[in-house]
Amino acid sequence: MSDNVLPGTTPASSRGVALAARGVTKRFPGVLANADVDFELLQGEVHTLLGENGAGKSTLAAMLCGLYQPDEGQIYRSGKPIRLRSPREGLAHGIGMVHQHFRLIPRFTVAENVILGDPKQSLLMKPGEAERRVGEISERFGLPLDPRAVVSDLTVGQRQRVEIVKVLYRGADVLLLDEPTAVLTPQEAETLFATVRSMTSEGKAVVFISHKLGEVMAVSDRVTVMRAGRVTGEVATKDTSARNLAELMVGRPVEQTVRRGTGQTSATPYLEAHAVRLADAGRNVLDDVTLSVHGGEIVGIAGVAGNGQRELATTLAGITAPTSGSVRVGGVDIGGKGAKAARHAGLTFVPEDRLGTGLVPGLSLTDNMLLTRRRSFFVNRRAARAELAEAIERFEIKAPGTEAEARVLSGGNAQKVLLAREVSDAAKDGDVRALIVSSPTRGLDIGAAEFVRELLHQVRVDGGAVLVISEDLDEVRSLADRIVVLYRGQIVLSGASEELTVEQIGMAMAGVKE
């Protein structure tokens, strides 16, 4: 740690401090990502950086490991100021980051991925020696892995373990885990929490980056809350609650509620799929999918990312033609006939891709609101502009004006415009009977997310059929009357929300049949 330790005075508060940031600021073109941030990680603790998407927590973590360099302020390691110019220099100081998106070579073995790129790796090391060392680390920290297994054959949870073993292999004493449970089943998340506790029991320090309140309360010793690039509070987990953390995240009291339908549903389904199969490059992306959504209910699709959710959404919306099987909206076959045919049959669709599929970046917000409306040759722009202005106020959309181009909006605000258009269509138009929503609250703060969930609930109460596709299991469970679990393109579990436990759903998400 002598190469790039800067001269300076050790802060008074550095006793027992493994890693710290003082007055750190980071700017990107047009964005103040971090503003005068102070952060302190103690040896042997789990310290969570909590905040919504865009709060600045990942940017701070990237500076702590050397991926970014601060424009202002200072990083300290064990009380000494350091300048990290790359992640490799971060690892030289015992700081390693496990990113949300894995950086593994699928055709290599576990051991080969772990030792790849390690500057300390001896050229004369035999494969057996590397496998032995990887196996020792795996066993020591409760990360069961076969060093000889090929990465492409591993589950998502196992691949994450490989990434953690990689930084432990390089001698990291400080680990930064960026949204580590985003792609895990509930059981895999519990295994990860046990691993984190095992690491801290040996004196390692962990920065846990998350926006999920439940897991933060379960795994953290302390929490630093960020909003809009600034720290809004720091608290010991034992001295707070999920409700208090939510208020720190959004700046106002937030009530998170579980919503259910009235139990009164239409006699016939408004949205149906029967034996739908979708083949791509010789494999079935969707395999014999049969489901239905009745008016007056919300059906939730749960699953780990990449198990066919996106393809299911586009197929049900008429955009992608199924290889076989049928899709019906209000009794009308719309399979592969395009979004226009689906909408005429009574379907509205909020896609996962907001800018591009949902909105046209180069068009004004007013024009984007008009895109999906049935209209005559003459367009009533004044009425559309007034409706958009009302939506901007109601949804708290931060936009320069009704004629601003969609491209200038942040991801969260673009999402609000799209939801305002589609959800209001589903709630108001007499011929709209079914609504498909993919990742409805991604990028929204807790308050805005609760608002959106209430809108979807209202569509249900008004008699609409709602299909919610989300990787957030808590969201699915809080909204859906029925839950369907998708694994490798197949429905592996379905049932009433009250009758399915988290354990059952988690096992199904992992492809394990009871």
Class of domain 12-245: alpha beta
In the chain, the amino acid numbered 356 is G
Report pLDDT for 125: 61
Burial string for 227-248 (b: 16+ CB within 10 Å, else e) reads: bebebbbebebeebeeebbbbb
* pLDDT tens per residue across span 252-262: 777 667 788 88
pLDDT on residue 9: 35
pLDDT at residue 424, rounded to an integer: 67
Q: Please tell me if the domain spanning 12-245 has the same topology as the one spanning 269-362+432-509.
A: yes
325, 333 contact by CB (below 8 A): no
Confidence check: pLDDT of 512 > 60: yes
How is domain 269-362+432-509 classified at the CATH fold level? Rossmann fold (3.40.50)
Cα gap 166→169, rounded to integer Å: 5
- The pTM (predicted TM-score) of the whole model is 0.76
226-277 pLDDT, tens per residue? 988 999 999 999 999 988 898 888 777 776 677 888 888 898 999 999 999 9
Residue 63 has pLDDT above 90, yes or no: yes
Q: What percentage of the chain reaches a pLDDT higher than 90?
A: 48
What is the pLDDT, as a whole number, of residue 369? 83
Q: Higher-confidence residue: 122 or 226?
A: 226
Q: State mean pLDDT over 296-311.
A: 92
Two tokens, residue 106: 């699928």
Of the listed ranges 32-41, 102-111, 356-365, the one predicted with least confidence: 356-365
Q: How confident is the model at residue 12 (pLDDT cuts 50, 70, 90)?
A: very low
**Which residue ranges make up each domain of the chain?**
12-245, 269-362+432-509
pLDDT grade for 122, boundaries at 50, 70 and 90: low
Query: Cα separation of 499 and 480, whole Å?
Result: 12
Mean predicted lDDT score pLDDT of the chain: 86
Q: What is the pLDDT of residue 6?
A: 42
